[in-house]
């Protein structure tokens, strides 16, 4: 088999699209060489050899050597040298390079081919003894560390000692003779550590290095990196062997790294650093401070050291024109490594550069405006999930950090505020104009108002899909969950973390993007949406088929979502409106009422409040479609779950505490998720949906009177499994609508549909939708549909999800990204059966998945009309829906 692919000025075996075989580095070196750019000649050993290496129990396969020998002879011919030759030695680097870039995770060895004899040849040929010995000692140190496993600290200590003994302070002061002495000490150290000498045979060096680079695919760093970035273990690395060029040949030599555009802002400017008289790794290692490439950057950084532009104007101009060619060729911003040897430029690496979300937008838009990309290509270039970074305030990267502890990065963005321990305190402090962080052991639906009032949420328990995490993401509040080191005492109003004892009112900062909890107020950056953001979103909107709505229950969320481009409300959950401190009393009175009349009396108090809520929402939505869901959660969620609170609440309600206790006991459920909720509640207590429908209709009438705009209402019945459930509640809503029309003389514009969130509803979708009196629309409630399909309660799933992810039973968390094969199949069936009886049936989705790009691609494929997601995910959904259409 062909295991070795050569690249040199005259002949190139590989191409940029061969990354699978040659790794990113090898493929792009080949591509640059074929473009005629100055690339030191070399060859790449394929990832297939990596497979073979592991299959053979970490041995290089038979038959590799002849191919390598031939290739390295050609490399030598190219540069007028020969590998292992004493007089004109060829030196090479042995470089790792996987299909996906894994910067710095695997090993690379430079200056290979040096031994006690070839070092003399190198000294003579270069006319620079010091350079030759410096290169040799670098090689021994690197090789001993990477291939032989001698800790590099051993060598650093020896060098340090030597400098101390000889009163030398920096490496540059060392002479050739000094390095020669150090080399002897290094070799002795290898002998002492391994019981055998440093290999003098250059072939032994070469194959040792090749095997070590293949071996580094499985080192701990690389394994961790792959796990974090979803890179399969099976890919393997390629190995590139390449003639050395020397940036350490004196003052007209240098080495550097550059981006063709600014990777944090996306600005079209060369961005990078270099070091005079240095070798590759020195720039990254931070031994000396690198200098900026351009004069502009130097001035901005108020840097003393001159730029490359000033020092070597010709080389700089050459570099700039190479950058331009590479960008044009790859049609993307590039991240580049280069070396200058005696005033001549050499290219050592190019790849698409990593960038911030902000830069990603700007670069995509600039490239499209320059005609390099089409608009739809530009839309495809931006990762929708990355937009999340832009939509929230973030920690200033230069901020001083006093880290108390780290939890899970549950909801992105950063926030500072005073600590409060209860939702009520959060609301009260907020009302006084204080920014607060709500700190809880864990949160529950009763805390919603406090979560809304808080700038951020911190919990000691719970995972990435805990109540706190899900609600916080929905609201766009930063959240750190599961910070197990917190000792919270709400009664005493204290929070202990290690030796720090904080109390209510003390200021902390949480970073929901990293999970860090910081002491005090840290410096923040406000999100600022650039012109590029608006431009790209405009292009995205022109591409997408699906509409994007929002899940919003408050005027603040509705306004935010409209600012982000929402085209309606896909889910307004009315229960959140019930938790408000003032109203919950009336809600509890309703729950405690002994008969229908008692309930009606309590509901009559809630009606005007609900009406006001809806008026505000409808006014903001200004004629856009608005889906309101009838009350969904089980009633016990509105009753206190802390027995200590019972007497005071009973007193407020004017009932004996025992009565309240009795009702709590009556309503308690073993499995509330599958209990007395949704349409079941409405069917047993029809006066509740009646009140809600009335509030909705009266609000619509009032808004139309005020603004002239007629609300487009969609009233949604939750948790339907049977057609009859829908029919009964449709009747209640229609009767109420008719009554309101009669009382007000106004005309209402509304339709009645269902949430599809039980498997039975998806399976019987045809029956549910059939006829004019069937459901007028479906909205898939994929949160509950996932719970009910998997038989897995989201609130209890955290430990299971973790274990299942670890054992690869779940590829992704099914509450984050839809389980396409299972839950997705039910969605597909629901759509097909619904539309079979009612062509053109309007179908959307309103679960958390509505803001997840992977799920959005699936929803597009099954023909949904819209997705609905939390306000902060609206731009993400717009972009993801566009990408699904392209």
Instruction: Please state the residue numbers annotated as binding site for Mg(2+).
Output: 757, 784
Query: For residue 232, what are the CA distances in angstroms to 57, 103, 223, 349?
Result: 19, 16, 10, 23
E strand segments, 59-144: 92-98, 108-112
> Residue 244 binds what, of ligand ADP, Mg ion, none (CB under 5 to 8 Å, by partner type)?
ligand ADP
> Residue 524 binds what, of Mg ion, ligand ADP, none (CB under 5 to 8 Å, by partner type)?
none
Give the single-character DSSP code of 527: -
- Residue 840: CB partners within 8 Å, gap ≥ 6? none
Q: Does 339 bind ligand ADP (CB under 6 A)?
A: yes
- Smallest gap, in angstroms, from Cβ of residue 197 to ligand ADP? 26
> Residue 339 binds what, of ligand ADP, Mg ion, none (CB under 5 to 8 Å, by partner type)?
ligand ADP
Task: Please state the separation of Cα 668 from the chain's center in Å.
Answer: 39
Q: Are 823 and 790 in contact (CB under 8 A)?
A: yes
> Residue 280 binds what, of ligand ADP, Mg ion, none (CB under 5 to 8 Å, by partner type)?
ligand ADP
What is the C-alpha to C-alpha distance for residues 246 and 626, in angstroms, rounded to an integer? 67
Q: Site mask, ligand ADP, residues 68-107, x = CB under 6 A?
A: -------------------------x-x-------xx---
Q: DSSP secondary structure string, 582-633?
A: HHHHHHHHHHH-SSHHHHHHHHHHHHHHHHHHHHHHHHHHTTSEEEEEPP-S
Binding residues for substrate: 573, 629, 757, 781-784
Site for ligand ADP in 742-761 (CB under 6 A): none
User: Using CB under 6 A, which of 14, 208, 280, 851 touches ligand ADP?
Assistant: 280
Q: Site mask, Mg ion, residues 202-241, x = CB under 5 A?
A: ----------------------------------------
Query: Which residues are paired to 628 by β-bridges?
Result: 572, 715
Give the single-character DSSP code of 710: P
> Residue 104 binds what, of ligand ADP, Mg ion, none (CB under 5 to 8 Å, by partner type)?
ligand ADP
What is the C-alpha to C-alpha distance for residues 262 and 120, in angstroms, rounded to an integer? 43
Q: Are 516 and 510 in contact (CB under 8 A)?
A: yes
Catalytic residue of the set 392, 449, 452, 467: 467
Q: Are 438 and 539 in contact (CB under 8 A)?
A: no
Q: Are 390 and 457 in contact (CB under 8 A)?
A: no
Q: Which stretch binds ligand ADP (CB under 6 A): 240-248, 410-418, 656-664, 770-778?
A: 240-248
Q: Does 636 bind ligand ADP (CB under 6 A)?
A: no
The secondary structure of 470-494, three-state, reads: HHHHHHCCCEEECCCCEEEECCCCE
User: Using CB under 6 A, which of 29, 60, 213, 244 touches ligand ADP?
Assistant: 244
> Residue 40 binds what, of Mg ion, ligand ADP, none (CB under 5 to 8 Å, by partner type)?
ligand ADP
Identify which of residues 29 and 558 has a Cβ nearer to Mg ion in the complex.
Answer: 29
Contacts for 186-193: CB closer than 8 Å, 24+ residues apart: 186/137, 186/140, 186/141, 186/144, 186/155, 186/158, 187/140, 189/144, 189/150, 189/154, 189/155, 189/158, 190/140, 190/144, 190/148, 190/150, 193/150, 193/154
Identify which of residues 504 and 794 has a Cβ nearer to Mg ion in the complex.
Answer: 794
- Smallest gap, in angstroms, from Cβ of residue 242 to Mg ion? 12
- Smallest gap, in angstroms, from Cβ of residue 308 to ligand ADP? 16
- Smallest gap, in angstroms, from Cβ of residue 718 to Mg ion? 6
- Smallest gap, in angstroms, from Cβ of residue 257 to Mg ion? 8
What is the C-alpha to C-alpha distance for residues 379 and 397, in angstroms, rounded to an integer? 28
Identify which of residues 290 and 570 has a Cβ nearer to ligand ADP in the complex.
Answer: 290
Q: Does 110 bind ligand ADP (CB under 6 A)?
A: yes
Identify which of residues 337 and 567 has a Cβ nearer to ligand ADP in the complex.
Answer: 337
Site for Mg ion in 740-759 (CB under 5 A): 757
Task: Establish whether 500 is a catalytic residue.
Answer: no
Query: Nearest Cα to 225, choosing from 352, 353, 110, 98?
Result: 98
> Residue 784 binds what, of Mg ion, ligand ADP, none (CB under 5 to 8 Å, by partner type)?
Mg ion
Site for Mg ion in 182-201 (CB under 5 A): none
User: Using CB under 6 A, which of 67, 242, 786, 868 touches ligand ADP?
Assistant: 242
Dihedral sign computed on CA atoms, order 795, 799, 805, 807: negative
Query: For residue 146, what are the CA distances in angstroms to 53, 68, 211, 348?
Result: 17, 21, 11, 21
- Smallest gap, in angstroms, from Cβ of residue 784 to Mg ion? 4
User: Using CB under 5 A, which of 725, 784, 813, 819 touches Mg ion?
Assistant: 784
Q: What are phi and psi of 558, to 5 degrees?
A: -65, -40
What is the C-alpha to C-alpha distance for residues 649 and 640, in angstroms, rounded to an integer? 8
**Residue found by looking up tokens 């206190």 in the block:** 640
Q: Does 781 bind Mg ion (CB under 5 A)?
A: yes
What is the C-alpha to C-alpha distance for residues 228 and 223, in angstroms, rounded to an integer? 9
Identify which of residues 86 and 673 has a Cβ nearer to Mg ion in the complex.
Answer: 673
Binding residues: 573, 629, 757, 781-784
User: Using CB under 6 A, which of 327, 337, 575, 813 touches ligand ADP?
Assistant: 337
- Smallest gap, in angstroms, from Cβ of residue 375 to Mg ion? 33
Total Cβ atoms within 10 A of residue 773: 13
What is the C-alpha to C-alpha distance for residues 539 and 222, in angstroms, rounded to an integer? 38
- Residue 874: CB partners within 8 Å, gap ≥ 6? 548, 550, 561, 564, 565, 566, 851
Site for ligand ADP in 419-478 (CB under 6 A): none
Identify which of residues 79 and 585 has a Cβ nearer to ligand ADP in the complex.
Answer: 79
Q: Does 349 bind ligand ADP (CB under 6 A)?
A: yes
What is the C-alpha to C-alpha distance for residues 825 and 815, in angstroms, rounded to an integer? 16
Q: What are phi and psi of 111, to 5 degrees?
A: 65, 30
Q: Does 277 bind ligand ADP (CB under 6 A)?
A: no
Task: Please state the separation of Cα 768 from the chain's center in Å.
Answer: 39
* Total residues at interface with ligand ADP (CB under 6 A): 17
Q: Does 229 bind ligand ADP (CB under 6 A)?
A: no
User: CA-based angle 82:88:92, to the nearest 5?
Assistant: 55
Q: DSSP secondary structure string, 806-852?
A: HTTS-SS-TTTS--TTTHHHHHHHHHHHHHHHSTT-EEEE-SGGGG-
Q: Which stretch binds ligand ADP (CB under 6 A): 208-216, 238-246, 285-293, 632-640?
A: 238-246
Q: Does 388 bind ligand ADP (CB under 6 A)?
A: no
> Residue 281 binds what, of Mg ion, ligand ADP, none (CB under 5 to 8 Å, by partner type)?
ligand ADP
Q: Does 870 bind ligand ADP (CB under 6 A)?
A: no
Identify which of residues 57 and 286 has a Cβ nearer to Mg ion in the complex.
Answer: 286
Task: Establish whether 467 is a catalytic residue.
Answer: yes
Site for Mg ion in 332-371 (CB under 5 A): 349
**Residue found by looking up tokens 């009302």 in the block:** 431
- Smallest gap, in angstroms, from Cβ of residue 49 to ligand ADP? 17
**Residue number closest to ligand ADP, CB atom:** 280
> Residue 781 binds what, of ligand ADP, Mg ion, none (CB under 5 to 8 Å, by partner type)?
Mg ion
**Residue number closest to Mg ion, CB atom:** 784
Catalytic residue of the set 479, 679, 846, 869: 846
User: Using CB under 6 A, which of 40, 41, 625, 759 touches ligand ADP?
Assistant: 40
Query: Nearest Cα to 753, choosing from 782, 717, 724?
Result: 717
- Smallest gap, in angstroms, from Cβ of residue 7 to ligand ADP? 12
- Residue 674: CB partners within 8 Å, gap ≥ 6? 788
- Smallest gap, in angstroms, from Cβ of residue 283 to ligand ADP? 7
Identify which of residues 40 and 76 has a Cβ nearer to ligand ADP in the complex.
Answer: 40
Residues that bind ligand ADP (CB under 6 A): 40, 93, 95, 103-104, 108, 110, 242-245, 280-281, 337, 339, 348-349
Catalytic residue annotation: 467, 846
Residues that bind Mg ion (CB under 5 A): 349, 757, 781, 784
């Amino acid at each position: 088999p062909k295991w070795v692919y050569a690249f040199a000025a005259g002949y190139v075996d590989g191409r940029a699209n061969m990354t699978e075989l040659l790794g990113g580095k090898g493929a792009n070196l080949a591509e640059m060489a074929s473009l005629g750019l100055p690339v030191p000649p070399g060859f790449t050993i394929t990832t297939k050899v990596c497979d073979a290496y592991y299959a053979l129990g970490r041995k290089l396969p038979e038959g590799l050597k002849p191919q390598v020998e031939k290739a390295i002879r050609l490399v030598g011919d190219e540069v007028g040298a020969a590998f292992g030759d004493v007089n004109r030695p060829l030196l090479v680097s042995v470089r790792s390079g996987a299909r996906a870039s894994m910067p710095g995770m695997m090993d690379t060895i430079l200056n290979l081919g040096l031994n006690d004899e070839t070092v003399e040849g190198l000294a003579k040929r270069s006319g620079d003894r010091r350079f030759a010995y410096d290169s040799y000692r670098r090689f021994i140190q690197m090789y001993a560390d990477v291939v032989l496993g001698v800790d590099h600290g051993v060598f650093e200590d020896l060098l340090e000692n030597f400098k101390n003994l000889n009163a030398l302070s920096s490496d540059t002061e060392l002479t050739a003779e000094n390095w020669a002495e150090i080399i002897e000490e290094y070799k002795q150290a290898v002998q002492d550590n391994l019981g055998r000498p440093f290999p003098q045979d250059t072939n032994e060096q070469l194959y040792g290095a090749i095997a070590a680079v293949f071996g580094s695919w499985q080192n701990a760093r690389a394994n961790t990196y792959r796990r974090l970035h979803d890179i399969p273990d099976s890919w393997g690395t390629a190995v590139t062997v390449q003639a050395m060029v020397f940036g350490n040949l004196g003052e007209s030599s240098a080495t550097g790294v550059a981006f063709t555009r600014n990777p944090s802002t996306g600005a079209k400017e060369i961005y990078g650093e270099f070091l005079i008289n240095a070798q590759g790794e020195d720039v990254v290692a931070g031994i000396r401070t690198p200098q900026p490439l351009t004069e502009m950057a130097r001035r901005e950084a108020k840097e003393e050291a001159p730029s490359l532009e000033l020092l070597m104007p010709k080389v700089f101009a050459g570099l700039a024109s190479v950058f331009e060619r590479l960008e044009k060729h790859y049609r993307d911003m590039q991240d580049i490594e280069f070396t200058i040897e005696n005033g001549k430029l050499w290219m050592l690496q190019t790849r698409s550069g990593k960038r911030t979300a902000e830069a990603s937008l700007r670069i995509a838009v600039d490239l499209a405006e320059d005609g390099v990309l089409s608009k739809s290509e530009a839309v495809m270039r931006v990762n929708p999930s990355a937009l999340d970074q832009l939509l929230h305030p973030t920690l200033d990267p230069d901020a001083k950090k006093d880290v108390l502890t780290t939890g899970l990065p549950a909801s992105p963005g950063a926030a500072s505020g005073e600590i409060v321990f209860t939702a009520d305190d959060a609301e009260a402090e907020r009302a006084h104009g204080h920014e607060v962080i709500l700190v809880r052991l864990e949160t529950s639906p009763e805390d919603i108002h406090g979560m809304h009032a808080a700038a951020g949420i911190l919990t000691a328990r719970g995972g990435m899909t805990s109540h706190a995490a899900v609600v916080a993401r929905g609201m766009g509040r930063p959240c750190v969950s599961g910070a197990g080191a917190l000792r919270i005492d709400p009664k005493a109003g204290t929070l202990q973390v290690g030796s720090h004892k904080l109390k209510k009112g003390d200021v902390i900062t949480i970073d929901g993007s990293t999970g860090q909890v910081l002491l005090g107020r840290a410096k923040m950056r406000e999100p600022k949406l650039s012109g590029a953001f608006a431009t790209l979103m405009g292009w995205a909107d022109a591409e997408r088929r699906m509409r994007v709505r929002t899940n919003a229950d408050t005027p603040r969320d509705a306004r935010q979502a409209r600012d982000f481009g929402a085209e309606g409300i896909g889910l307004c959950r009315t229960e959140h409106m019930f938790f408000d401190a003032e109203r919950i009393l009336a809600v509890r009175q309703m729950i405690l009422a002994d008969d229908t009349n008692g309930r009606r009396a309590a509901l009559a108090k809630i009606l005007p409040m609900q009406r006001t809520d809806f008026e505000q929402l409808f006014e903001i939505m200004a004629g856009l479609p608005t889906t309101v869901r009838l009350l969904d959660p089980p009633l016990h969620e509105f009753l206190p779950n802390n027995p200590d609170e019972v007497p005071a609440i009973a007193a407020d309600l004017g009932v004996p505490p025992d009565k309240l206790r009795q009702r709590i006991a009556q309503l308690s459920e073993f499995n509330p998720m599958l209990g007395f909720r949704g349409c079941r509640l409405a069917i047993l207590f029809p006066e509740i949906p009646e009140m809600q429908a009335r509030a909705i209709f009266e609000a619509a009438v009032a808004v139309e009177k005020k603004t002239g705009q007629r609300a487009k209402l969609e009233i949604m019945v939750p948790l339907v499994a049977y057609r009859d459930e829908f029919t009964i509640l449709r009747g209640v809503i229609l009767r109420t609508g008719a009554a309101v029309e009669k009382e007000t003389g106004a005309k209402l514009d509304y339709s009645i549909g269902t949430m599809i969130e039980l498997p039975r509803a998806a399976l019987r979708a045809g029956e549910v939708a059939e006829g004019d009196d069937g459901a007028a629309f479906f909205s898939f409630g994929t949160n509950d549909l996932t719970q009910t399909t998997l038989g897995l309660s989201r609130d209890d799933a955290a430990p299971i999800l973790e274990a299942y992810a670890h054992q690869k039973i779940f590829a992704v968390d099914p509450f984050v990204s839809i389980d396409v094969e299972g839950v997705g199949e039910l969605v597909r069936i629901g759509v097909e059966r619904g539309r079979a009886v009612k062509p053109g049936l309007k179908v959307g989705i309103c679960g958390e998945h509505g803001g997840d790009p992977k799920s959005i691609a699936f929803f597009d494929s099954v023909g949904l009309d819209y997705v609905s997601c939390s306000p902060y995910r609206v731009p993400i959904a717009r972009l993801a829906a566009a990408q699904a259409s392209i």
